Structure 1
Amino acid sequence: MKWSEICIHTTQEAVEPVSNILHEAGASGVVIEDPHDLVKVWDTNFGEIYQLSQDDYPEEGVLVKAYLPMNSFLGEAVDAIKESINQLLSFDIDLGHNTVSVSEVNEEEWATAWKKYYKPVKVSNLITITPTWEDYEKVHDDELIIELDPGMAFGTGTHPTTVLCIQALERYLTTGDAVIDVGTGSGVLTIAAAKLGASHILALDLDEVAVNSAKINVKLNKTQEFVTIKQNNLLKTIDYTPNLIVANILAEVIVQMTDDAFSLLQARGKLITSGIIKGKKEEVKNALENSGFTIIETIVMEDWLAIIAEKPE
């Protein structure tokens, strides 16, 4: 299938309304190329890191791009987009250059073009996540490598919530621990636990696609002998007593499983929870404490946080 790339050269002020216009025109998403990203100072050495090229960005202003299928309605859609953008002037929105260009994109090239931006990422002191197509050599002997193919695996494994969980696993997992990974997704936390010395990991996810993806990634990383993966609703009907449970899921879901987690964990066992936006911190802490846990650490990255809790003796 052939697609048309609609590119609007505008200003930072106009990015949100222009993006909204493109969404209303049928675009399922937008690409924003802002030269400020080239000089942005990140507040952490860990997380999503891409090799950005200055050649891909305008010298001034911002490029907002969207993709529409090439069909008989394309001309009308582009005219309507231009008209709607020009109407923003009546709201005193600075449109800058306000140029609109249209170019053809081949779907096969488009589907793989993103790969050039995904590079090996050091997410903790010991663990580096690398795409399967990159030849990566260890920087030091203790470094642990996780290979992922994000095309099949629910993202790159470098979202702040995943990074927080991996860093917590590195600190709290003891060699020989039995582990449960709730909402395993790509299996990245299960693989991390195996490489950090867990004796066995039970990886759970309600989504059958996630279960299959995790199985592929676990085999890719040669950790399958330490892992059992199954489809399951959180911790319901689980008969397993781990030393550690890790759950990178939404706060609204975490609060539903704190009682089950407390019941299953061995004494002095740890529960690592993430996927928690800052505004949900107190809700999750209250649920953990009401279930009997003691909060031992809260760690923050950008707008996300992880809470580590312990089951008392």
Structure 2
Amino acid sequence: MKWIELQIQTSNEAVEAVSNILIESGSQGVAIEDRQDFLNNPDDGFGEIWALDEADFSKEGVIIKAYFPDTLFLPELVPNIKLRINELKTFGLDIAPNSVKVDEVAEENWATAWKKYYHPLQVTRFLTVVPSWEEYELQHPDERVIRLDPGLAFGTGTHPTTMLSLQALETYIRGDETILDVGTGSGVLSIASKALGAKHVHAYDLDDVAVKAAVENIELNDYATDIIVKANDLLKGVTIEADIVVANILAEIIIPLIPEAFEVLKPGGLFLTSGIIEDKKELILSEQKKQGFTIIQVQQMKDWCSIVAQKPLAEDE
């Protein structure tokens, strides 16, 4: 089978949104080439993540490679993809340099390309993300392994927004919590929640492709198979009382989620958000405070921020 490779050159802050557009347009997988991964690799603090070649990376922006079967007529899809990417500017996202390139690629080359980019990654003190095809031995007794196939959905643990979310979960999960994961993507945050001791985990995503990918990744981790995954628009219609709501999504989507999260959280419950580009941080903080949340922690990695907010206890309201 032949595949068509569509390359989008965009900004770091638009990576998640553009990746989602490509998946929703029929791509069977995306690979992200960010030069910062090469530059930061030797000093990331976690040891060697993967073997990278600087020649593979553009000096301007990030390259997203999306793969489509040649049975799809790409000339019909590309104009709509370009239109949707351009619409991201209305959300305040910088999409430059916003270039598009199309190549044909053999299936065996695509399979090899995947394995070049993904290797075991220690993302927190206790959590290590391991691609489904790799053998891996525990490095210490308390290490928890998350098996992932990073093919269809964003969120492999390598991006700052995902790492910030995982670090927050590790910090605040104590055990036996009920956790709602909004915009689950690959399911990595839901799986991590179970690995860290959460009792009940419900994962939601608007995209059916992400729901399918999350289910497949959950099945790779025996301890996580009781996670409930559903297609849903944020938390609309959800009445489950939660100890923690976690969301690694764009700032513009976090805003309508804030009142929904406040409603389902138990008094004292935590709202963990990531996917927030630095210049949107104050907006999200303001909206959360306006809703009645107390800000517990703000973390930053590169240009990305995460926020831990708490719903007040009944006597504090």
Fold similarity call, TM over 0.5: yes
Residue pair 2:41, 2:49 contacting (<8 A) in 1 also: no
Aligned-pair Cα RMSD in Å: 3.4
Matched, 1:300 2:300: yes
Residue pair 1:251, 1:277 contacting (<8 A) in 2 also: yes
How far has the Cα of 1:151 moved from its partner? 1.6
Identical pairs, percent: 45
* Structure 1 residues 271-304: Cα deviation after superposition (integer angstroms, max 9, x where no partner): 0000000010011001110110001100111110
Q: Structure 1 299/48 Cα, relative in aligned 2: closer, same or farther at 3 Å?
A: farther
Give the aligned partner of residue 112 of structure 2: 113
For 1:312, give the aligned amino acid.
P
Give the aligned partner of residue 261 of structure 1: 261
Q: Structure 1 39/278 Cα, relative in aligned 2: closer, same or farther at 3 Å?
A: closer
Residue pair 2:202, 2:229 contacting (<8 A) in 1 also: yes
Residue pair 1:278, 1:305 contacting (<8 A) in 2 also: yes
Q: Structure 1 264/109 Cα, relative in aligned 2: closer, same or farther at 3 Å?
A: same
Give the aligned partner of residue 23 of structure 1: none
Taking the aligned partners of 1:227 and 1:253, their CA distance within structure 2 comes to: 23
Residue pair 1:47, 1:123 contacting (<8 A) in 2 also: no
* Structure 1 residues 176-228: Cα deviation after superposition (integer angstroms, max 9, x where no partner): 11100000011000000001000100111111111111111111111345311
Give the aligned partner of residue 86 of structure 1: none
Residue pair 1:48, 1:159 contacting (<8 A) in 2 also: no
Aligned residue runs from structure 1 range 182-261, under 5 A: 182-261=182-261
Q: Structure 1 271/206 Cα, relative in aligned 2: closer, same or farther at 3 Å?
A: same
Give the aligned partner of residue 287 of structure 1: 287
How far has the Cα of 1:30 moved from its partner? 11
State the SS of the aligned residue for 1:135.
Answer: coil
State the SS of the aligned residue for 2:242.
Answer: coil
Give the aligned partner of residue 132 of structure 2: 132
How far has the Cα of 1:51 moved from its partner? 1.2
Q: Structure 1 120/30 Cα, relative in aligned 2: closer, same or farther at 3 Å?
A: closer
State the SS of the aligned residue for 1:308.
Answer: strand
Gaps of 5+ in 1: 6-28, 68-103
Taking the aligned partners of 1:268 and 1:228, their CA distance within structure 2 comes to: 24
Taking the aligned partners of 2:224 and 2:41, their CA distance within structure 1 comes to: 39
Q: Structure 1 195/109 Cα, relative in aligned 2: closer, same or farther at 3 Å?
A: same
State the SS of the aligned residue for 1:164.
Answer: helix
Residue pair 1:202, 1:228 contacting (<8 A) in 2 also: yes
State the SS of the aligned residue for 1:110.
Answer: helix
State the SS of the aligned residue for 2:306.
Answer: strand
* Structure 1 residues 215-263: Cα deviation after superposition (integer angstroms, max 9, x where no partner): 1111111134531111110011101001001000000000111111111
How far has the Cα of 1:158 moved from its partner? 1.7
Taking the aligned partners of 2:229 and 2:274, their CA distance within structure 1 comes to: 20
Aligned residue runs from structure 1 range 11-160, under 5 A: 44-45=44-45, 49-52=49-52, 107-114=106-113, 115-160=115-160
State the SS of the aligned residue for 2:151.
Answer: coil
Residue pair 1:194, 1:226 contacting (<8 A) in 2 also: no
> TM-score with structure 2 length normalisation?
0.70
Give the aligned partner of residue 163 of structure 1: 163
Gaps of 5+ in 2: 6-29, 67-102
Tell me how many residue pairs correspond in the alignment: 249
Give the aligned partner of residue 273 of structure 2: 273
**Does 220-229 or 291-300 show the bigger shift?**
220-229
Give the aligned partner of residue 87 of structure 1: none
Taking the aligned partners of 2:179 and 2:31, their CA distance within structure 1 comes to: 39
Q: Structure 1 157/267 Cα, relative in aligned 2: closer, same or farther at 3 Å?
A: same
State the SS of the aligned residue for 2:222.
Answer: coil
